[in-house]
């Protein structure tokens, strides 16, 4: 899942980005409203974590522009103002959720995960495929009831394949949805990550390679 964090406090922006990356998400950062809007209009993000009080272009204007452009990203608006009126105004602009500052990262991560489940067809909080289980909220993978230790990229790749429910996901799409804007499009990192993931998941191999197309969960 691809997330854009638009926050003008660099330390907070990087803190949020690092935390979400540890959950297997691809996260880009913008430090002002104009850059955030530009990135959101050229990249298909599932979630935009949007500070309301931004320099160069106010968060309200970013949110309004996204909705006027028909952008489908779910918007989680952040603000230091916590009044009911502020929350209502944010939601009326087209935000999908609202979180006042200061916030606990665990709550922000839970809200991002919940919004992610609302992108595309609704999906359960625990993904299942055969004897595989993936709990997005708890960052836990099980096979046959046995815990599997995955790093954030392996977790992200497995999640994207399980969400696709047997449809083929290309290497390019995995790179876009699990890594970030700094990923080298010519790297073999996706292939290497899938190879490591297969080794950890064990036999029989639940991932099928579709030559020339990508990967999918085996029937």
Q: In angstroms, what CA-CA distances link 111 with 47, 68, 121?
A: 10, 24, 17
pTM for the structure as a whole:
0.78
Task: Give me the domains of the chain, ranges plus CATH numbers.
Answer: 2-117 (3.40.50.2300), 126-217 (1.10.10.10)
Which of the four pLDDT bands, split at 50, 70 and 90, describes residue 183?
confident
pLDDT per residue as tens digits for the range 44-86: 999 999 999 999 999 999 999 999 999 999 999 998 766 677 7
CA 114 to chain centre: 11
Dihedrals phi, psi of 93, to nearest 5 degrees = -75, -15
pLDDT at 91 over 80: no
Which of the four pLDDT bands, split at 50, 70 and 90, describes residue 107?
very high
Q: What is the mean pLDDT of residues 126-148?
A: 92
Of 91 and 45, the structure prediction assigns the larger pLDDT to 45
CA distance 207 to 128: 14
Tokens 């990550």 map to which residue?
193
Query: What is the percentage of the chain residues whose pLDDT exceeds 70?
Result: 97
Q: What is the mean pLDDT of residues 155-179?
A: 93
Which of the four pLDDT bands, split at 50, 70 and 90, describes residue 28?
very high
Task: Give residues with Cβ within 8 angstroms of 89, minimum separation 6.
Answer: 60
Task: Give residues with Cβ within 8 angstroms of 108, minimum separation 6.
Answer: 16, 19, 49, 76, 99
């Amino acid at each position: 899942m691809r997330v854009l964090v638009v926050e003008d406090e660099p330390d907070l922006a990087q803190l949020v980005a690092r935390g979400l990356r540890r959950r297997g998400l691809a996260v880009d950062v913008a430090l002002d409203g104009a850059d955030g809007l530009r990135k959101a209009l050229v990249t298909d993000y599932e979630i935009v974590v949007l500070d309301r009080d931004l320099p160069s272009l106010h968060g309200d204007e970013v949110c309004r522009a996204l909705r006027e452009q028909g952008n489908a990203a779910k918007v989680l608006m952040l603000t230091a103002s916590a009044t009911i009126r502020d929350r209502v105004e944010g939601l009326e602009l087209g935000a999908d959720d609202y979180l006042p500052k200061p916030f606990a990262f665990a709550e922000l991560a839970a809200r991002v995960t919940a919004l992610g489940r609302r992108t595309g067809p609704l999906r359960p909080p625990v993904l299942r495929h055969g004897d595989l289980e993936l709990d997005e909220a708890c960052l836990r993978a099980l096979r046959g009831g046995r815990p599997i230790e995955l790093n954030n990229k392996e977790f992200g790749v497995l999640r994207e394949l399980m969400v696709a429910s047997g449809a083929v996901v290309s290497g390019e799409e995995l790179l876009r949805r699990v890594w970030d804007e700094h990923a080298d499009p010519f790297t073999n990192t996706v292939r290497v990550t899938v190879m490591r993931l297969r080794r950890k998941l064990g036999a029989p191999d639940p991932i099928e390679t579709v030559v020339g197309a990508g990967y999918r969960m085996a029937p």
